[in-house]
Amino acid sequence: MDNVIRIFDTTLRDGEQSPGCSMNIDEKLAMARQLEKLGVDVIEAGFPIASPGDFESVKRVAETVRGCEIAGLARCEPEDVDAAGEAVRGAANPRIHVFIATSDLHMRFKLRKSADEVLRDAVRSVEQARRYTQNVEFSAEDATRSDPEFLFRVFQAVIEAGAKVINVPDTVGYTVPSDYARLITSIRERVPNLGDTIISVHCHNDLGLGVANSLAAIQAGARQVECTVNGIGERAGNTSLEEVVMALRTRRDAFGVDTRIVTEEIYPSSRLLSSITGVSVQPNKAVVGANAFAHEAGIHQDGVLKNVMTYEIMTPQSIGRSSNELVLGKHSGRHAFRERLHALGFDLQPDQLDNAFQKFKVLADKKKVIYNEDLEVLVADAVLRMEDKFKLLSVNVSSGTGAVPAATVEMAIEDRVVKEAGFGDGPVDAVFRVIGSITQCKAQLVRYQVNAITGGTDAQGEVSVTLSEDGLTAIGQGAHTDIIVASAKAYLNAINKLEWRRSQNVGRRTDEKGP
């Protein structure tokens, strides 16, 4: 058996299904380019049948990213397989990923199909997918709660039909490492025509075991891991890419296998995803959390100063983290700016670069020290936004002890300029009320969060606002040295995203359509 573990990244599909993480086409493209730099083997770009927006983003990613296989997901339904086939057609190496549930529970209550019907649909879909590409993956949804004897039969039949990869999802995060390893071993022993078919694993994190289960499966012979950046995904998320990759790299002695991941691109990938979605990782998150390399206890600090290996099993540099490094100031030129963005993973078009550079100059006038984190937020703010319906032109507030907080907001709505004023319980509330009245937004404010991007009183405030309306959720972000302005930008960004999603019919929960 070879010792390369293929990384199948599903950040843009299973990851995107987590509440508030849906992305527009430009955001997906930016993330896909970064995944290519990261060196993932396969990018699952979406679920093409789910909506026209999903179809279009898979197609664009397939036509743009040439260095990875591009997969589209499909249920074992003829129209799904055709949609996936058409969407990935332009890829350098297209893959169609078909799935159907094999557990009694899912077959009986969700699919209302007999085991024989499921087996028939699985085979028919693999055969149909092979008319588009030889590169077909089959997933037995809820495999870990399926009857193993039936699972072996299904795998044997789909391999016979031409599947090159068989995936064993722990769809509901139910399994434990010893059981999962045993299941992988039994598939290797009991599927007679396995040959060089790759066994893939796909774990959810409901019991916090996604990474542990994936690693146990690798030890039992799995050679593809499905995972997401920052572990985003349905419910408690999917196996976290950075944790699996760094476990394999750091403990090569224990696993004896490795991935092709360029680990120095892990942190830029994590940051890019957070700045696109507005969903930040918890500070103590392994590998990419803010505290993952921070040594607080005196005894630890002392040890690290004497020899860093006393308390660090991997270096921050190995994951591309050069924390709080001073990067640029107001005298920096366009060239240095472009080089730095390139190093951070952003390859901008000339007009995008001009736009970002102008914003950088404005920021550099306000803020003495500009860090990598400032640049990431600035680019996300300046470049990765879709064409907004509502644009903020100006915002002014008055507040303080003894004053009723008041706000005046000026906005452009398509080609009209609208100005309104109003009061609120505080300056942020006043601004949100006025924006709500101008945009006629009825969405409910679910979460409002402010973070300082770096240290210092001149730090930019990064505001994240979550809005919800009619089952759609959108997270908006805004960054500015003035947190009222950052709040206004974040609120409007969320409103614009909701507008966009409504128009594209995206963000629909997958209960209706998918896994």
State the residues that interact with Zn ion by CB under 5 A: 14
- CB 230 → ligand KIV: shortest distance, Å? 17
* Residues in 447-476 at the binding interface with ligand KIV, rule: CB under 6 A: none
- CB 277 → Zn ion: shortest distance, Å? 18
Q: Which is nearer to Zn ion, 125 or 139 (CB)?
A: 139
Segment near ligand KIV (CB under 6 A), from 117-125, 165-173, 304-312, 335-343?
165-173
- CB 223 → ligand KIV: shortest distance, Å? 16
Annotate each residue in 171-200 with x if it binds ligand KIV (CB under 6 A) or - if it does not, as one string.
x-----------------------------
- CB 141 → Zn ion: shortest distance, Å? 8
Q: Which is nearer to ligand KIV, 105 or 336 (CB)?
A: 105
* Residues in 125-144 at the binding interface with ligand KIV, rule: CB under 6 A: 139, 141
- CB 50 → ligand KIV: shortest distance, Å? 12
Segment near ligand KIV (CB under 6 A), from 117-125, 164-172, 178-186, 355-363?
164-172
Q: In the structure encoding, which two tokens stand for residue 515, read together?
A: 């896994």
Range list of H helices, 130-251: 148-161, 177-190, 210-219, 241-250
Phi and psi at residue 243, to the nearest 5°: -75, -45
Contact 143, 170 (CB under 8 A): yes
139 binds, among ligand KIV, Zn ion, none (CB under 5 to 8 A by kind): ligand KIV
**Is residue 228 a contact point for ligand KIV (CB under 6 A)?**
no
How many positions of this chain bind ligand KIV (CB under 6 A)? Answer: 10
Q: Which of 14, 16, 27, 265 binds ligand KIV (CB under 6 A)?
A: 14
How far is it, in rounded angstroms, from Cα 279 to Cα 18?
A: 10
Q: Which of 99, 152, 360, 371 binds ligand KIV (CB under 6 A)?
A: 99
Burial class (CB in 10 A: 0-12, 13-18, 19+), 165: buried
* Residues 6 or more apart whose Cβ sits within 8 Å of residue 354: none
- CB 167 → ligand KIV: shortest distance, Å? 6
- CB 98 → ligand KIV: shortest distance, Å? 9
Q: Which is nearer to Zn ion, 168 or 288 (CB)?
A: 168
Q: Which of 130, 202, 489, 497 binds ligand KIV (CB under 6 A)?
A: 202
SS3 label, residue 229: helix
How far is it, in rounded angstroms, from Cα 236 to Cα 245?
A: 19
Contact 486, 460 (CB under 8 A): yes
The strand ranges marked E within 234-366 are 326-328
Q: Which is nearer to ligand KIV, 95 or 204 (CB)?
A: 204
Q: Which is nearer to Zn ion, 14 or 381 (CB)?
A: 14
Contact 203, 168 (CB under 8 A): no
Q: Which of 20, 53, 72, 169 binds ligand KIV (CB under 6 A)?
A: 169
Segment near ligand KIV (CB under 6 A), from 166-174, 334-342, 355-363, 414-422?
166-174
Contact 233, 18 (CB under 8 A): yes
- CB 44 → ligand KIV: shortest distance, Å? 9
Adjacent-strand bridge partners of 444: 468
How far is it, in rounded angstroms, from Cα 383 to Cα 244?
A: 31
Q: Which is nearer to Zn ion, 202 or 433 (CB)?
A: 202
- CB 73 → ligand KIV: shortest distance, Å? 6
Contact 138, 158 (CB under 8 A): yes
Per-residue burial over 466-486, b = 16 or more CB atoms within 10 Å of its CB, e = otherwise? bbbbeebbbbbbbbbbebbbb
Number of helices and strands in the chain (H, E): 17, 16
Adjacent-strand bridge partners of 98: 74, 138
How far is it, in rounded angstroms, from Cα 328 to Cα 365?
A: 12
Q: In the structure encoding, which two tokens stand for residue 378, read together?
A: 């600035």
- CB 11 → ligand KIV: shortest distance, Å? 12
Segment near ligand KIV (CB under 6 A), from 29-37, 104-112, 144-152, 163-171?
163-171
How far is it, in rounded angstroms, from Cα 413 to Cα 419?
A: 11
Positions touching ligand KIV (CB under 6 A) are: 14, 99, 139, 141, 167, 169, 171, 202, 204, 515
